[in-house]
Chain A
């Protein structure tokens, strides 16, 4: 009896959390009706591969958003790692491994720098990461002037591998979610949420704010580097401007997935759903024969609706808490 009530209460408190899932299901269903091929395993596997870079970027972005910050340098890190991998990777296991590790280290280093500077100098994350983003994109241009480069075949094959119809990216996705479920309840995970809800009281409660901030931004940089590496395998070339699109879409994905920009609430599972929603929507518009000229309009409206809904939900919640 008591359990039932708490479940019902939980549902009425968290109905917002279901919205992104419902949205994704509706989009997939509508697409299935318009074109039954989209429900086939091979199509979904392809979609999973194509969305995975954005998923990684959005996951990284989420850690920073949870602290109440922003990471615009995600795009820059993707550019750098994409270019490095496309230019330097040779077709041997050693070289592939070496450059993957170098890219990840670069991502983490840039992230740590962001986190450290933002916490130490009290610069606004928006402007600090905007500067890092510019520097990173410039460096990417120095590594590779125009789109191109050569990506080793074995690298591409390894990352887009299929086990039957099951793509490697789906397996990684599941592993990532499991890791997150563990991470969420670790000390660092809790500290990230605490800082996002109220930095001052987090500090007063003895939470190591600097260390946690550096960790959050480093995670963002690390995931951005992974996104860049994965993009290299999927697109099979490097581009010094590849990351530009990822900045706003990674934030959008996280926000659609229910992560609050103010920090302190949300999580990466929502961001993963959000990333898939964004990627599926573009396809849906094609299947609905919406002219590509209008597609950005639809995406914008969708984003506003998703966010307005969660803003409305928060107001309701506040009102409820205020009364009760």
Chain B
């Protein structure tokens, strides 16, 4: 592939990034002082938070599935962290693995239902979402308590200059994700399944296992997102992850990954995260009413996905 071809292929992603920064430029012109260091750091952290869930979401969507159980896995991740540590930083040593494991287990439940039982992904994860909600609300009697270690707060809100620590963590994990998806055989298998399940099966891919594993990754990332998010809030609350259900799917779709699976690049998802968070900030900064915000959000989502899916279609 020549450089020109590479550029042509990734023009859509580049354009999505350009849209994101144009939005940011627009709001900083309209609202002088908006783009100060503190605010940019906030934005970078928000991008990272959405980014963690979007990394996870990318995997099942590439196989042609979807994970709608992100919100409550996210919440359980945050709650487990608070419960296990009780505010003591030293206990993070085992709290982190337990949270990640919990995410893997919840994802495995989704994956099992979808890959082995044959339940449609949307229904399976929608149902498991309310099951996880019931579990968390039931066990905590509706009031999740616990304390988050101070170190977590520094990690979740601190950073260097205009870039949050979380953003840096996200970038590192993004590179890892990109390598896994485009340079390993596991990644190629995921794309293959998204393109044609039957072909993948006849090529000797363990379709069911790979499919299940994508939901496990998604569950783990959602739980990790919750864990890191817990440092951002002073008090844990139910419904912390609610926004990430549709936003993570939107980020992936805006990035040009087809919801049918099998095509698109993770880098696009990153661009999608930028667009969504910056747009969100813009709509709040311009002090539009909530109604206008939703209308504009819907229109931009529609146009952005339209734009990126068009281009994916052309390259195929």
Q: Which residues of A contact B (CB under 8 A)?
A: 70, 121-124, 126-128, 130-142, 145, 240, 248, 251-252, 255, 260-262, 291, 293-301, 303-304, 307-308, 311-312, 314-315
**By the criterion CB–CB under 8 Å, are A297 and B299 in contact?**
no
**By the criterion CB–CB under 8 Å, are B250 and A296 in contact?**
no
**By the criterion CB–CB under 8 Å, are B122 and A141 in contact?**
no
Interface stretch, picked from B31-39, B184-192, B225-233, B288-296, is: B288-296
A312 to B117, CA, bound (A): 7
Known pairs A138-B295, A312-B117; list 18 more (Cβ under 8 Å): A122-B313, A123-B309, A131-B305, A132-B298, A134-B295, A135-B294, A135-B295, A136-B298, A138-B296, A140-B291, A142-B291, A145-B289, A297-B133, A300-B127, A300-B128, A304-B127, A304-B128, A312-B118
Q: Could you pull out 27 A-B pairs where Cβ atoms are within 8 angstroms?
A: A121-B309, A123-B305, A127-B250, A127-B253, A128-B302, A131-B298, A131-B305, A134-B301, A135-B299, A138-B291, A138-B296, A139-B291, A140-B291, A141-B290, A141-B294, A142-B292, A293-B141, A296-B130, A296-B131, A297-B130, A299-B134, A303-B127, A304-B124, A304-B127, A307-B119, A308-B117, A308-B119
Cβ–Cβ < 8 Å partners of B142 in chain A: 293
- One of A123, A136, A139 near B306 (C-beta < 8 A): A123
Q: How far is the CB of B223 from chain A (nearest CB, A)?
A: 18
A2 to B310, CA, bound (A): 55
**By the criterion CB–CB under 8 Å, are B301 and A255 in contact?**
no
Q: Which A residue sits closest to B114, measured CB to CB?
A: A311
**By the criterion CB–CB under 8 Å, are B250 and A300 in contact?**
no
Q: How far is the CB of B67 from chain A (nearest CB, A)?
A: 13
A138/B117 contact (C-beta < 8 A), A123-B305, A300-B130 known: no
- One of A138, A294, A307, A315 near B127 (C-beta < 8 A): A307
**By the criterion CB–CB under 8 Å, are A255 and B123 in contact?**
yes
A142/B123 contact (C-beta < 8 A), A121-B306, A308-B117 known: no
**By the criterion CB–CB under 8 Å, are A261 and B294 in contact?**
no
- One of A123, A248, A291 near B126 (C-beta < 8 A): A248
Cβ–Cβ < 8 Å partners of B141 in chain A: 293
1/0 per residue, CB under 8 A from A, across B201-222: the answer is 0000000000000000000000
**By the criterion CB–CB under 8 Å, are B119 and A304 in contact?**
yes
A137 to B129, CA, bound (A): 23
Q: Which residues of B contact A (CB under 8 A)?
A: 66, 113, 117-120, 122-124, 126-131, 133-135, 137-138, 141-142, 246, 249-250, 253, 258-260, 289-299, 301-302, 305-306, 309-310, 313
**By the criterion CB–CB under 8 Å, are B123 and A252 in contact?**
yes
Cβ–Cβ < 8 Å partners of B120 in chain A: 255, 260-262, 307
Q: How far is the CB of B75 from chain A (nearest CB, A)?
A: 13
**By the criterion CB–CB under 8 Å, are A311 and B298 in contact?**
no
Cβ–Cβ < 8 Å partners of B123 in chain A: 251-252, 255, 261, 303, 307
A294/B134 contact (C-beta < 8 A), A261-B120, A300-B128 known: yes
Cβ–Cβ < 8 Å partners of A297 in chain B: 130-131, 133-135, 138
A301/B250 contact (C-beta < 8 A), A124-B259, A135-B299 known: no
**By the criterion CB–CB under 8 Å, are A138 and B293 in contact?**
yes
Cβ–Cβ < 8 Å partners of A252 in chain B: 123, 126-127
A141 to B302, CA, bound (A): 20
A145 to B291, CA, bound (A): 8
A122 to B295, CA, bound (A): 22
A134/B298 contact (C-beta < 8 A), A121-B309, A248-B126 known: yes
Cβ–Cβ < 8 Å partners of B306 in chain A: 121, 123
A248 to B313, CA, bound (A): 30
**By the criterion CB–CB under 8 Å, are A139 and B295 in contact?**
yes
- One of B113, B135, B246, B297 near A138 (C-beta < 8 A): B297
Q: Which B residue sits closest to A130, measured CB to CB?
A: B246
Cβ–Cβ < 8 Å partners of A70 in chain B: 122
A123 to B289, CA, bound (A): 29
Q: Which A residue sits closest to B68, measured CB to CB?
A: A248
**By the criterion CB–CB under 8 Å, are A261 and B122 in contact?**
yes
**By the criterion CB–CB under 8 Å, are A131 and B299 in contact?**
yes
**By the criterion CB–CB under 8 Å, are A137 and B127 in contact?**
no
A248 to B296, CA, bound (A): 23
**By the criterion CB–CB under 8 Å, are A314 and B298 in contact?**
no
A47 to B113, CA, bound (A): 33
A135 to B130, CA, bound (A): 26
A130 to B305, CA, bound (A): 11
Cβ–Cβ < 8 Å partners of B313 in chain A: 122
A240 to B289, CA, bound (A): 13
Q: How far is the CB of B178 from chain A (nearest CB, A)?
A: 23
Q: Which B residue sits closest to A295, measured CB to CB?
A: B134
Cβ–Cβ < 8 Å partners of A138 in chain B: 290-298
